[in-house]
Amino acid sequence: MKTIIVTGSAGLIGSEAATFFHDKGFAIAGIDNDMRAYFFGKEASTKWNSQKLLQSLKNYRHYSIDIRNQQELDKIFSDHGSDIAGIIHTAAQPSHDWAAKEPFTDFSINAAGTLNMLELTRKHCAQVPFIFTSTNKVYGDTPNLLPLVELDTRWEVEKSHRYAANGIDESMSIDNSTHSIFGVSKLAADVMVQEYGKYFGMPTVVFRGGCLTGPSHSGTELHGFLSYLIIATVLGKKYTVFGYKGKQVRDNIHSKDLINAFWHFFQKPTRGEVYNMGGSRHSNISMLEAISLIENLTGKKLDFSISDQARTGDHIWYVSDVSKFMKHYPEWSYTYSIQDIIREMVASDHVKNLIS
């Protein structure tokens, strides 16, 4: 049976990809060793999601191994051999705050782990699509140099600027900026995935994500702001917004819309391509706006404060321009607005279980 290898399979994007491609008729080889619990504590564990996949997907096989372990990865590739139809690589250390605590761990997972996956793909199945989830942090804090205007609840780009209409495109420089340690490790992986496409002729793609979100997100204070914002609100936890008067803007894309973009590339792959991929002008929100919407949906008030200290390298305003992808894959479109996303997350089983 044709198989898709999914790393980070119990995480938000990995689990969505596993379910989507399983429904398309593929067997899934899911790789996830619950490092999220190591990064962020037991409350961030993804074991609940891996168990859900095992129970709900008939042709799902789980491998609890570390992507830094090339020998164990090689066994998985060897076992599936010619049945491998594609690679979806989502496993990562995802927090730029956490990365500063253990730079070697962060880089070994994000950069060296990605290189392991690329090399084993080249060795065993070089002509199958290799899909990689990168991040907008590869641009560092360059977006903060844009001409920004302060409005009542958000920052916005000056209307005359070329990014105002559609957001930030792939031409933004990755040089001469503060990326965060996390941003650097993801950039190393990002460029390597492109290089394996350009240099070795492999069908690889990089999706530079804005905020990726959805009901399967195990949000924590250091990663997954919408998910954790909802959790903090319903559980009565104190929340700190770091910097920019709480008016910083993020574009959010639902995991299902992202996986659907993966599917379009999977059917018509190219070599070494890179796309900015987020909620764009279709789905974006500031921190203050998100808090207000969540409070209205939950009927609860969030106990929050706004710190004057912003996180190093954090963006004031980031909205992805996805027009390049839409030009290449015109049949793809969004199905979730920001209101749809938050409403679904508030009503999710994950949030209900936390409350109970």
pLDDT score at 222: 57
For the domain that residue 84 is a member of, what is the CATH number?
Answer: 3.40.50.720
In which residue are the tokens 């916005």 written? 156
How many structural domains are present in the chain?
1
Q: What's the pLDDT score for residue 312? A: 80
pLDDT for residue 137: 95
Which parts of the chain have pLDDT scores under 70? 217-224, 354-356
Which amino acid, residue 265?
A: F
Tens-place pLDDT, residues 126-147? 999 999 999 999 999 999 999 9
**Sequence-ordered alpha helix ranges (H) in 3-147:** 12-23, 35-40, 47-56, 70-80, 96-99, 103-107, 113-125
Q: Which residues contact 77 (CB under 8 A, 6 or more apart)?
A: 5, 84, 120, 121, 123, 124, 125
Domain that holds residue 312: 3-355
**Would you state the pLDDT for residue 354?**
65
Question: How far, in Å, CA of 127 to CA of 118, rounded?
Answer: 12
pLDDT reported for residue 14: 97
Give the whole-angstrom CA distance, residue 193 versus residue 85.
Answer: 18
Instruction: Supply the DSSP symbol for 284.
Output: E
Beta strands in 96-236 (DSSP E): 130-135, 148-150, 155-157, 204-209, 211-213
- What's the pLDDT score for residue 220? 62
- At 223 the pLDDT is 62
Task: Give the other-Cβ count within 10 Å of 106's Cβ.
Answer: 25
